[in-house]
Every structure is written in C-alpha cells, then in structure tokens.
Structure 1
C-alpha cells in the first residue's frame, strides 16, 4: 500500500468519475448512426468502417446489457493506466512520477466519454497501447506475436491502426530482436487482417477492410478542389463541388449530406473507386492547396478549449434526454432486450457535466509535450521512447491528411504519449540493459575498473 500510495489515491476519484457515467447516463451514450451500425444483429463486413467492434458486441450480446459493455470499457482503460504505471515503475520511475504520467488517461473527460460510448475507440486505444507496451517490455517471439495479434485486431476495429504494424516492425528491426520476433509479429498481425479480408471477399466480393477509403479522401479534397484546375474526365466530373470554397462545409459533411455529389454515384464499390481517383487527381493538381487545408486542421492541436459548445454534439454530455430515431431505437432495444435510450439521472449526470467543462488535458500542452518528448528521445537516440512517441504522432497527423480533424481521433494518442514521456525521464542507469549485455557482468566490470574486488 505504501509503495503504490500515489496511484491508489489517484484511482479513487478516477473510478468515481466512471461510476458517475455509469449511474448518470445508463445504459450508454451513442454516436449518431455509427453506434447503431455496430449494434446490428446481422453481422456483415462494414462499408464505411471495419466491423471488428461489431464482432465484439456480438460476443457480449447474450448478456443483453449495454451497461456491461460500457463497464468493461471503463475497466479496460483503467487497467491500461495501471499497466503503464507498473511498467514505468519497473523501469525505475518513482511512484509519484509514474502516477503523474497516467493521470491524463485516468482523468481526461473525453477518455471517460469514449469509454461510455458504444464505439470502437476505447477498445482500439487499449489494443494499440498494450501492443506497444508489450514490444518495449520484452523482446521475445511470444511477446512480439501477441503484440502483432493485438495490432492486427486494432486494424479491424479502426483502419488507422494498420500503419502501426509497420512502425512496430521497424522498431523490432532497429532493436535487433531477431528474425523470429519479426516473423511472429508480422504473421500474428496478418491473421486477423487476412481473416477479415477473406470474410469481406465472401460477403462483398472484394478483399478489403472497408469500401470507403476513397470516399474519405475525396471529402478531404472538398476543402480546396477546383475542377477548372483539376480538369477531371467526364466520369469523375460528377464529383466536382458545386459551391464556392468559402461556402463549403467541413469535409465529413460531404460524405452524408443530401447536397453531396458523392451520393449521385450508384454502387458502393464503384463510388469508392471513383472518389479515390478524383481525390488523387485533385491532390496532384493542387498539392499546395491540399497542404494548406491540412495545415488548417493542424491548428486545432493548439486550441485550448476542447468541449463542444453545441448542445446537440455527441461529444457533449447531454443535459436533456435525446430520443432515438425509430431505426436506431429498434436496433439498440433489440440488443438490450429493453429500452436502450440514454437516461439522465441527476444529480450524478450534472456532476459529470460540470467536470467536463474543465477536466481535460488542453491540446496545446499535449502537443508541446509530445514534440518535446520526441525531440529529447531523438537526441538521446532512445528507440524505446521514440516508438510510442512516433506511434502517437502517426495517430495525430494521419486523419487531417486522409479525412479531417476530429476530437475523437486525438484521444488514442494520449496513452502512447504518456508512455513515451515516462521513458524519456529515465536516467541512463535506470534503463534496462540489452539481452546480449546483462546487467550483472556489466555492473561487475564497472566496479572492477573502480578498484573494487
């Protein structure tokens, strides 16, 4: 108890905040249509998103409890924070230091919101961070294989996890873990991805995780695309925006709204293919406009205020109950075997809403901290710290390039950044020694050189 006093003190309010979510907003929170697509009873590969989370929900369906789903997600993230704490303590950080580094995971209001939402994000966060933690912890084929499996599973929860397997392979190569560890990592990572692709082929006729990557990239180009410059062929011209640049809405709106020319193209696969072709032509024809649009999104990382001001935003804890539409209500009620609409129980919900107004890590501090961590790790050539830091950076920068900035896309980088920061704080003598150079003999040589027997 005395050894881990700081962590235990921090865990108490962290658990209380999650209890407020469970009691104040039963059985769960929902994200527009996405949550209900995951809850569908009929299982099929997703069109706009992979269905890994749907498979997890199907495993839990017999319990008919969305509360069980959210409680498990809350416990998983708290457990992840404890695992990072334990790892940093093992590497030599004092209890207060390791506890301080996991406080953003335990107390960030948006982390708690994602845990309480029927969305893949909380599970995705646990999968990728656990994989990175395993690879840094021990260099064996077994741990590499488990890490690869976790990253492969993460890829069928959210496709942004796919490049992380490449980063992990580069880390294993640079650390010289050996060909067996590298093979275990890649093979284990390919198993869930390959199985899902075969399932998609059987159901939809194509090997793919989604049929929307072209759509999302096309929506990104709607921030700047000028068809007089692009000069697309006739079959792509239908995708040209029909309003001035200054009047165009944010990229995601072009995917779903009635005004979008994307919806005029029949056939899911055909639409995605044409959208991808248009997007690539637009980027090649207007590369500087593309980079400028991306840079506008990057400015969000330096915005202090984070809580959405729109009462209807799914990122803002509701103060009044929001009735579900019929299709959504039927889907959620079927899973719950009862009414699944979000209920608001005061005063617990009100206390959590009050906390949401200030209980978060401001993006400017987070961004600056990550950049400083990366710079320090690069200066020290510390691969163990660079790996989670670069993984966090990849999660941050890829959405603005491929789709658009979204607050939900930033949160998965927080645990990885905390881990990287902790590793950079270790002093040289606290760092683990390589498997080829065990601590005992090296320690003895140092004393011998000092004149000790």
Structure 2
C-alpha cells in the first residue's frame, strides 16, 4: 500500500484524540474567552472578532460541546493528511512526507487546542489550508478559495489579516498575473467587509475589533516611562503607576483592577487613546520597545513548553474545575446540561503523561524554520516562500503587537513543516521568472 507509513502514523494519533474525548468530556474551557464565544447573543466582539462564535452558533442546535471538539479533532487530522498529500504530489516519498506531518499528528498542544472551546484550532486549519491551496496550484479559482479562507481566518483571529497581505505579495513577487491576485483580494475582502459592516451596524464603527490599541498599549507597559514619553494630559491617565521591575506581564494590564486603562470611559475612546499612547511610547523609547520584544522572543529558546510546577491554563487538569457562577449559564445553555470539564480516569491520566513529552520543543521548531529558509535559498525552491514567511509572521507578530504566548506559536507548526517539506521535495527549481505560465495562472516551470 502506497500510504502505509501515513496509516501507521494516523492510528496512534487518532487514539490520542480519542483519549481527549474520553478523558475530558465534553471539552476544555479557557478562562472567560470560551464563554464569550459560547454566548447565545451573537454580536461583534470587542477584544476579539466573533468568527468562531458564528461557527459555534451553526452547531448550537446539536447542544453538544463534544460535537465541537470532535469536529476540531477531525479538522486537525484532515490538515495533516492534506499536507501529506501535497508533499507527496511534490515528489517526497511516503515515509518522508509522513515524518514531516508527525508533529501535526502528535504535538500535544495541537491536540489540546482541538479539544478546547477556543478559535485557535479552526484558525490554524484555515490558514494552513489557504497556504496549501496557493502552493498546490495558482489559478483564479484556487486563489479565490485561499482568499476566502484567509478572510475567514481574519475574522477568527485578527493576526490572520497580515497573512492575506503576505499571500498577495507572494503572488506579485512570483508574477502569477493579475487574475489570481484579484481573485484572492476580492474573495478575502468578502468575509472581512461583511464582518466590518456588521460591526458598523452594531457599534457605529467600521472595524473588526475595538481592542487593537489596547493590546499595543499593554505591550508598552513592559517599558513605558512617562518622564521620557511626556504624553499630553489626555493620555497621561494611561501612564503606569509602578516601577518597570514590578510590572506584571502585558496581558494583565488589559483586565486587572490596577490597570489605568479602566479609568478611560467608552470602549472606542479607550481603544483610540490607548493606541495613541502606545505609538508615542514606541517612538519615544524604540530601543526599549525592541528590548521588550526580544525578551519575549527569547522564550522560543526554552526547551520545555511548561515546567512541571508551572501554573498555566495549557495543562490538562487533574481534577474538575467548577465553572464560575457568572458564566456557568452560558456554557450550560449551549450544552443543554452540565458543561464543566469532567476528568475521567484512566484516559485523562494517560493523556497527561503524554503531555509531558509529546511535543516539538520550540528550539527545534525554530531550527526547522531556519532550515526551511536556508534550503529554500540554496535549492531555489521558491514555492516554500509563502508557508515559511507566513510561519515567521505568526511567530514574530504577537510579541510586537501584544505579548508572547505559547498558544500564539502553535498555528505556525503546520506551515513550518510544509515549508521544510517543499524545500526537500523534487529537483531544485530555478529562480527563473514564471513567464507566460504564471500569467495564465499555472505553476511556474522549473528552469536551471
């Protein structure tokens, strides 16, 4: 059988996801975010777009969080199979393509996010599927499909927006012609424009969220010194009230009682003033800003995802966590019954034991990304350019715009190994221009 290596790898990967379903029914819930997504009242989100909420609304009639997590697990498996198929199409042998999708099948964090009521698993699939479509073949049809997927990714998590720009730039740089480019942009604009219009109708502002300024302001709380910034009086209220060495990590400045952000009335006004303050802080202290970003990016050199005794929401629980009374009704209305995560042994214990070692350490992940860029330049495999740059953008953007979080790195995993596989597949392609084939929307012919 041509695909026996993939089948052999798939069976244990399916088993791990079955353990998640059996060990942690009906789902894993994340802080307040999961409950915001589950809310029966559909409206544009303030701090995050509501694309994932729209998906949950479609599934609501089933009243089953288990259905949501099973669907997300199936999407994760389908993504791995799709990347495998693309790499085989590019000439990799079955065992080689299988090795490159092993991280997609077995990384414990991907399995965790698939089992969590959060937008990340769906976002990961949308982005990777869009990039894979463009890599597979560039035609107006595939470009339009990719644009639509990236537009949906943008209303699922706003970090997806730069990926639509990157994909358009890729089509321009590789000279695929104006038809695929136009198809990509128009299709991508449909979900983005529809969502922004919905926000305009509901909140009077044409936007995807009302928190981009807040997040950037929280980033500057790592270093902001108002004696250096000298902000005007209307922004001075946002100055931090504690020494740099005592300040908590940026996300805490968005939600905690000590945050001066809470002193500013009005959601839109708060976001605007926070954005102005952040831009002034960055211009006044550019080196401090880069130092804060660099400190976050150094987390990528950490071998362990989480230490044994580290408190983090990204560990599988050993005991049931009661849902807060303030949001319990939201989850129970969706589930039509008890919705708290149950811990069923021995399945949960087996999965917790796997979580301690079942992942690609971030230093190895970054080495794989660096290898993809290096091999791409050496072998002139420019079809790897899009997944490699998209992966880099996903890894680097959050520390510049908000803060580092383990969860924000995970969507880059499929793109990194797709890029690496493309650089290893088939004969080295030349750097010649696509020419008339590209103008017709076809894959550039390799030249030496």
| TM-score, scaled to structure 2 | 0.95
Q: Decide whether the 8 Å contact of 2:6 with 2:94 is kept in 1.
A: yes
In structure 2, the CA distance between the partners of 1:134 and 1:271, relative to structure 1 (3 Å rule), is same
Aligned to 2:125: 126
Cα deviation, 1:143-169, whole Å, max 9, x if unaligned, reads 100000000000000000000011111
CA distance in structure 1 between the aligned counterparts of 2:78 and 2:71, rounded to whole angstroms: 10
CA distance in structure 2 between the aligned counterparts of 1:274 and 1:171, rounded to whole angstroms: 35
CA distance in structure 2 between the aligned counterparts of 1:19 and 1:430, rounded to whole angstroms: 42
In structure 2, the CA distance between the partners of 1:308 and 1:322, relative to structure 1 (3 Å rule), is farther
Aligned to 2:154: 155
Aligned to 2:56: 57
Q: CA deviation at 1:382?
A: 2.5
CA distance in structure 2 between the aligned counterparts of 1:310 and 1:183, rounded to whole angstroms: 51
Q: CA deviation at 1:308?
A: 5.1
Aligned to 1:297: 296
Cα deviation, 1:84-104, whole Å, max 9, x if unaligned, reads 001101110001100000011
SS of 1:186's partner is: helix
Aligned to 1:240: 239
| TM-score, scaled to structure 1 | 0.94
Higher CA-based Rg: 1
Aligned to 2:413: 414
SS of 1:157's partner is: coil
Q: CA deviation at 1:128?
A: 0.5
Aligned to 2:249: 250
Q: CA deviation at 1:337?
A: 0.3
Matches within 5 A, 1:35-50: 35-50=34-49
Q: CA deviation at 1:426?
A: 1.7
CA distance in structure 1 between the aligned counterparts of 2:399 and 2:372, rounded to whole angstroms: 22
Aligned to 1:450: none
Aligned to 2:266: 267
Q: Decide whether the 8 Å contact of 1:30 with 1:314 is kept in 2.
A: no
In structure 2, the CA distance between the partners of 1:390 and 1:429, relative to structure 1 (3 Å rule), is closer
**Deviates further, 49-58 or 170-179:** 170-179
Cα deviation, 1:93-125, whole Å, max 9, x if unaligned, reads 001100000011100000000000000000000
* Residues 1:217 and 2:224 are matched in the alignment: no
Matches within 5 A, 1:378-389: 378-389=377-388
Structure 2 residue ranges without an equivalent (≥5) = none
How many pairs are equivalent?
441
CA distance in structure 1 between the aligned counterparts of 2:309 and 2:50, rounded to whole angstroms: 29
Aligned to 1:451: none
Aligned to 1:91: 90
* Residues 1:71 and 2:97 are matched in the alignment: no
CA distance in structure 2 between the aligned counterparts of 1:310 and 1:64, rounded to whole angstroms: 36
CA distance in structure 2 between the aligned counterparts of 1:395 and 1:421, rounded to whole angstroms: 16
Q: CA deviation at 1:311?
A: 6.6
Cα deviation, 1:410-445, whole Å, max 9, x if unaligned, reads 0000000010000000232699x9683999xx99xx
**Deviates further, 297-306 or 421-430:** 421-430
Cα deviation, 1:321-348, whole Å, max 9, x if unaligned, reads 1100012211000000010110000000
Aligned to 1:436: 437
Aligned to 1:200: 199
Aligned to 1:144: 143
In structure 2, the CA distance between the partners of 1:208 and 1:309, relative to structure 1 (3 Å rule), is farther
CA distance in structure 2 between the aligned counterparts of 1:178 and 1:427, rounded to whole angstroms: 25
Q: Decide whether the 8 Å contact of 1:73 with 1:123 is kept in 2.
A: yes
CA distance in structure 2 between the aligned counterparts of 1:144 and 1:371, rounded to whole angstroms: 27
CA distance in structure 1 between the aligned counterparts of 2:421 and 2:257, rounded to whole angstroms: 48
Aligned to 1:111: 110
Q: CA deviation at 1:371?
A: 1.1
**Deviates further, 27-36 or 174-183:** 174-183
CA distance in structure 1 between the aligned counterparts of 2:3 and 2:334, rounded to whole angstroms: 40
CA distance in structure 2 between the aligned counterparts of 1:427 and 1:15, rounded to whole angstroms: 30
Q: CA deviation at 1:378?
A: 2.6
CA distance in structure 2 between the aligned counterparts of 1:164 and 1:79, rounded to whole angstroms: 21
Matches within 5 A, 1:314-353: 314-353=313-352
Cα deviation, 1:166-190, whole Å, max 9, x if unaligned, reads 1111111222222111110000000
CA distance in structure 2 between the aligned counterparts of 1:261 and 1:127, rounded to whole angstroms: 36
What is the root-mean-square deviation of aligned Cα atoms in Å?
2.0
Q: CA deviation at 1:229?
A: 0.3
Q: CA deviation at 1:379?
A: 3.4
Q: CA deviation at 1:313?
A: 2.5
CA distance in structure 2 between the aligned counterparts of 1:221 and 1:114, rounded to whole angstroms: 28
Q: CA deviation at 1:376?
A: 2.0
Cα deviation, 1:210-236, whole Å, max 9, x if unaligned, reads 000000000000000000000011111
Q: Decide whether the 8 Å contact of 2:29 with 2:117 is kept in 1.
A: yes
Q: Decide whether the 8 Å contact of 1:21 with 1:349 is kept in 2.
A: yes
SS of 2:155's partner is: helix
SS of 1:428's partner is: coil
Aligned to 2:18: 19
